Chain A
Amino acid sequence: MTSEAVVTTRGLTKRYGSVVAVADLDLEVRKGEIYAFLGRNGAGKTTTIRMILGLIRPDAGEVRVFGPTADSAHPEWLRRVGSLVETATAYPNLTVRENLDLHRRYTGAPARAVPDVIEQLGLAPVADRRAGQLSLGNKQRLSLARALVHAPALLVLDEPANALDPAGIVEIRQLLRSLADGHGTTVFVSSHILVEVAHLADRIGIVHAGRLIEELDREALIAAARTFSAEQLTDQQRADALLGLELERYFLARTDEGPR
């Protein structure tokens, strides 16, 4: 509880007409932790992330990143932030490498950083392909690579697992874990996939209809879910859940092995 806050929001509110996208949100993301922002479709995750990054202005409340108020008119602080908002995008006429190199120049990162993230995100086979021709999952990898090029102290990722296959999801999870553990990178990640978050996050905030309804650490979340589901789940549902895992394992093993 004593460790330093990297992202703080106070009373953060955003309305779109009569829709309250984010309502009076108080968040605190601490240095070196992975904080998952969990919510259903339309809960206000992306809107919160846009406000943290200065892409939209709150109607009320404030955002602090690294201490001072996040101000888009003086964007120096963004040098220490890597982000991915909603859908993955890139300049389609530029190759993967050129897109990353452009970002490297903008953020003042060393030249070495580009081949490094290409390696890290498994983009080497498509490094010289134009971004416009990439598969969806590789576009997602490119966007994640861009978020990492300048070795940011804070990563703000909106549903980073989008479009990734099961192996890709595991890779990204491991990558984020190693950044948090090895480099003290703070990660704020939104998701609507519970399992994903349970494996990855140190703390989880559950957001619904723009409000933070619960905030707990991973162990507490898992324990709460166990107690709750012990009474709720039928044997059939347990079997289905297990089947999902079995199918995933088989699929990954078979695709590694190739045709037989």
Chain B
Amino acid sequence: MLATAFTGELTKLRRTIAPWVTLGSLMTGPLFLALFMWIIRDPQRAAEFGLLGTKAALSGIEPTWSSFAGFLTLIVGLGGTLLLAFVAAYVFGREYSEGTAKIMLTLPIPRPSFVVAKLAVAAVWWLTIVLVVFVEAVLVGLALALPGITGVGVVSLLGNLLLVAGISYLLAPAVALVTVWTRGYLAPVGFALGMLLLGNVVGHTGWAPWFPWSIVPILVGSVGDPVDTLPSGSLLILAITFAGGIVATIQVLQNADNTQ
């Protein structure tokens, strides 16, 4: 059942542009960083580029691999959380916007299988994007010959990207829940944006390790210096958010009226 549901979800993505749009948008991250680094590497050039040059200098970017990797982790952590929310809202929300929910919900396949299959597809989709962006980042780093680009540095970037991507993924079921609850795209994307902002606000307070949407911000350093370790309470909160989101999404699909 689960395998059928999973391959079915993959089939539903055929010829859709959403996977390419999400991949393309995250792939601009390393390119922008590269542009900034190329500009600030040469003060003369920075002056020529005017505002963009000033911006690059102000943002604290240095033309080194560790600075590049740090900023890329931040982009994947924050921008990616939003992108992943879009992915989750898309795989669940399109059944409502395209009117196919009534088809899906009258199949001889238990509804929880669809929830798990859709989240699995979102995971594969998200992991693919992150890995492609990682490879792109290494190529950009080599092309710019950024100082400090070593095997260890590259592996550490991969580890950090996978960590923040994984944590962002634990928040995806909450987005799925909002999607099936409201039966559309708008609310879940708004929800994710709101949580991202709230997470960055709460991130400045002592509550940061206990608020699921603040954990990526404190890891990537968008609120203060990046931290290396999380209290085990944070991991517990994330696990609860993940499992709770899945259970609640299944409950809504199982019990809510489908009158679309």
Residues of A in contact with B (beta carbons under 8 Å apart) = 50, 53-57, 72-79, 81, 83, 85-87, 89-94, 98, 102-103, 105-108, 130, 146
Q: A72-B254, A89-B100, A105-B7 are in contact. List 10 more A-B contacts (CB 8 A).
A: A50-B259, A55-B106, A72-B105, A75-B110, A75-B111, A78-B107, A92-B98, A94-B14, A102-B8, A105-B8
**In the complex, which residues of chain B have a beta carbon less than 8 angstroms from the beta carbon of A105?**
4, 7-8
Q: Which of B1-29 contact A (CB under 8 A)?
A: 4, 7-8, 11-12, 14-16
Contact check, B108 vs A107: say whether CB atoms are below 8 A apart. Answer: yes
Contact check, A79 vs B108: say whether CB atoms are below 8 A apart. Answer: yes
Given A93-B15, A93-B16, A94-B11; A106-B109 close (CB under 8 Å): yes
Contact check, A106 vs B100: say whether CB atoms are below 8 A apart. Answer: no
Min CB–CB distance B17 → chain A (angstroms): 9
Contact check, B98 vs A106: say whether CB atoms are below 8 A apart. Answer: no
**In the complex, which residues of chain B have a beta carbon less than 8 angstroms from the beta carbon of A54?**
105-106
Q: Which of B75-119 contact A (CB under 8 A)?
A: 98-100, 102-103, 105-111
Contact check, B107 vs A106: say whether CB atoms are below 8 A apart. Answer: yes
**In the complex, which residues of chain A have a beta carbon less than 8 angstroms from the beta carbon of B11?**
94, 98, 102
Given A57-B255, A91-B98; A83-B106 close (CB under 8 Å): yes
Q: Is B156 an interface residue (CB 8 A)?
A: no
Pick 26 A–B contacts, CB within 8 A, sort by A.
A55-B105, A55-B257, A55-B259, A56-B257, A57-B257, A75-B106, A75-B110, A85-B102, A86-B102, A89-B99, A89-B100, A89-B102, A89-B103, A91-B98, A91-B100, A93-B14, A94-B11, A94-B14, A102-B8, A102-B11, A103-B103, A105-B4, A106-B4, A108-B108, A130-B15, A146-B103
Which of A56, A75, A89, A130 is the one whose CB lies under 8 Å from B258?
A56
A56 to B101, CA, bound (A): 12
**In the complex, which residues of chain A have a beta carbon less than 8 angstroms from the beta carbon of B110?**
73-75
Nearest-neighbor residue (CB-CB) of B99 within chain A: A89
Contact check, B259 vs A106: say whether CB atoms are below 8 A apart. Answer: no
A106 to B98, CA, bound (A): 19
4 shortest interchain CB distances as A-B pairs: A89-B99, A79-B108, A56-B257, A78-B108
Contact check, B14 vs A98: say whether CB atoms are below 8 A apart. Answer: yes
Map CB proximity to A onto B104-138 as digits: 1 under 8 Å, 0 otherwise. 01111111000000000000000000000000000
A200 to B78, CA, bound (A): 60
A8 to B11, CA, bound (A): 36
A74 to B112, CA, bound (A): 11
Contact check, A53 vs B106: say whether CB atoms are below 8 A apart. Answer: yes
A103 to B103, CA, bound (A): 9
Contact check, B109 vs A55: say whether CB atoms are below 8 A apart. Answer: no
Contact check, B102 vs A75: say whether CB atoms are below 8 A apart. Answer: no
A73 to B11, CA, bound (A): 24
**In the complex, which residues of chain B have a beta carbon less than 8 angstroms from the beta carbon of A103?**
103, 107
**In the complex, which residues of chain B have a beta carbon less than 8 angstroms from the beta carbon of A78?**
106-108
Given A91-B12, A91-B98; A75-B109 close (CB under 8 Å): yes
A106 to B107, CA, bound (A): 7
A146 to B56, CA, bound (A): 56
A106 to B16, CA, bound (A): 21
Contact check, B105 vs A77: say whether CB atoms are below 8 A apart. Answer: no
Map CB proximity to A onto B239-257 as digits: 1 under 8 Å, 0 otherwise. 0000000000000001101
A56 to B105, CA, bound (A): 10
**In the complex, which residues of chain B have a beta carbon less than 8 angstroms from the beta carbon of A53?**
106
A128 to B61, CA, bound (A): 52
Nearest-neighbor residue (CB-CB) of B16 within chain A: A93
Nearest-neighbor residue (CB-CB) of B100 within chain A: A89
Contact check, A76 vs B108: say whether CB atoms are below 8 A apart. Answer: yes
**In the complex, which residues of chain A have a beta carbon less than 8 angstroms from the beta carbon of B103?**
89-90, 103, 146
**In the complex, which residues of chain B have a beta carbon less than 8 angstroms from the beta carbon of A107?**
107-108
Which of A76, A79, A94, A108 is the one whose CB lies under 8 Å from B12?
A94
A144 to B106, CA, bound (A): 14
Min CB–CB distance A134 → chain B (angstroms): 14
A86 to B103, CA, bound (A): 11
Contact check, B108 vs A87: say whether CB atoms are below 8 A apart. Answer: no
Contact check, A90 vs B100: say whether CB atoms are below 8 A apart. Answer: yes
A134 to B108, CA, bound (A): 27
Min CB–CB distance B96 → chain A (angstroms): 11
A53 to B239, CA, bound (A): 35
Min CB–CB distance A199 → chain B (angstroms): 27
Centre residue among A50, A55, A73 by max chain B CB count within 10 A: A55
Given A57-B257, A94-B11, A105-B7; A77-B108 close (CB under 8 Å): yes
